[in-house]
Structure 1
């Protein structure tokens, strides 16, 4: 089956953007004193305000983001099954990539149509 080995890596732009953003969010939630707020201008002021006045909300938001990524990864597994991507290693790649990068990865899998896919 042609779709057995279909995998496309998400773009480097989204890999970097999501890694930096989620890393910064993690620092704000778990190590807020490690961030140089004064060096970040107005964004630093906003972050400081969120950390000191809405820490509980930030903590819950972080866990919600993790939960969304887990759900997206599970959905990626289901899509792999539905679209005939049967190779276990390829399925793991989709699940892992979707867990890390969310819809940036899942969107590629959603758009994949095995009936129109041509192997070159």
Structure 2
């Protein structure tokens, strides 16, 4: 890949992982901030598990929610460093990588890690 192509390299995460992460974090947010509104009995085994965690481990869930977003932020900042290391110079492309990695975590970061700007296969 030519240098001009690598300066604006961006790949969107797969729709599958985008949906999985969005639904998971949305459900986690719902159970942490509005636990009384969750229809646990309608969710089968997932509802029973969520109800157990809300009833017996709520502080861990509350702090875990914040930890999850701190981890996503850390991954997004690491994505910016990887953009520099891989000579992705376009500001808009870096912003895309940062935003996508912040929202979808490793589902995005993995794509950036796999990218080889000079086109050579990864050494093992």
> Once the 2 structures are TM-superposed, how far is the Cα of residue 41 of structure 1 from its aligned partner?
1.4
Match of 1:5, SS state, is coil
- In the other structure, the counterpart of 1:45 is 48
Match of 2:72, SS state, is helix
Report the RMSD for the aligned CA atoms in angstroms.
Answer: 0.9
- In the other structure, the counterpart of 2:103 is 100
- In the other structure, the counterpart of 1:90 is 93
Pairing 1:115–2:124 present:
no
For residues 49 and 110 of structure 2, the distance between their equivalents in structure 1, rounded to whole angstroms, comes to 31
Moved over 2 A (4+): none
Pairing 1:59–2:62 present:
yes
TM-score (norm 1): 0.95
List runs of 5+ in structure 2 lacking aligned partners. none
- In the other structure, the counterpart of 1:34 is 37
For residues 49 and 96 of structure 2, the distance between their equivalents in structure 1, rounded to whole angstroms, comes to 36
For residues 46 and 26 of structure 2, the distance between their equivalents in structure 1, rounded to whole angstroms, comes to 16
- In the other structure, the counterpart of 1:25 is 28
> Once the 2 structures are TM-superposed, how far is the Cα of residue 114 of structure 1 from its aligned partner?
0.2
- In the other structure, the counterpart of 1:77 is 80
List runs of 5+ in structure 1 lacking aligned partners. none
CA shift digits 1:57-109 (9 cap, x unpaired): 00011111001000000000000000000000000000000000000000000
